[in-house]
Amino acid sequence: MNNVSGSLHTKVHNWMDTIGFRLSGSQTNIKDNITTNHYFFETFNFFEKAKNNDPKNSKFLCFDTYGEGIKVKSLLDLQTAFFENISQL
């Protein structure tokens, strides 16, 4: 299963580079050793949490057009939320 998570991290970051997302901020909880990165493009925001800075432990969270949180389980989840958000502009 670790291979699936690692590949999701790679796919998401390759797609982010293609679209042109920017890192808005990064915070590290030293106690739990969890780093949270906040990325944005236009009006779309999403978060990546990684424990021990290990890509296989990355989890992604984005929001739909109504502000409801969506746990990203595949690149398609992220792309769907992104294009729905951008289409509202």
Tens digit of each residue's pLDDT, the chain (89 residues): 344 555 889 999 999 999 999 999 999 999 999 999 999 998 899 999 999 888 888 999 998 878 889 999 999 999 999 999 888 87
What region, left, alpha or beta, does residue 45 occupy, with left being phi > 0 and alpha being psi -120 to 50 degrees? beta
**What is the pLDDT at residue 82?**
93
**What is the pLDDT at residue 67?**
84
**What is the pLDDT at residue 1?**
38
pTM comes to 0.83
**What is the pLDDT at residue 76?**
94
Exposed e or buried b per residue across 33-56, where buried means at least 16 C-beta atoms within 10 angstroms of its C-beta = ebbebebebeebebbbbbeeeebb
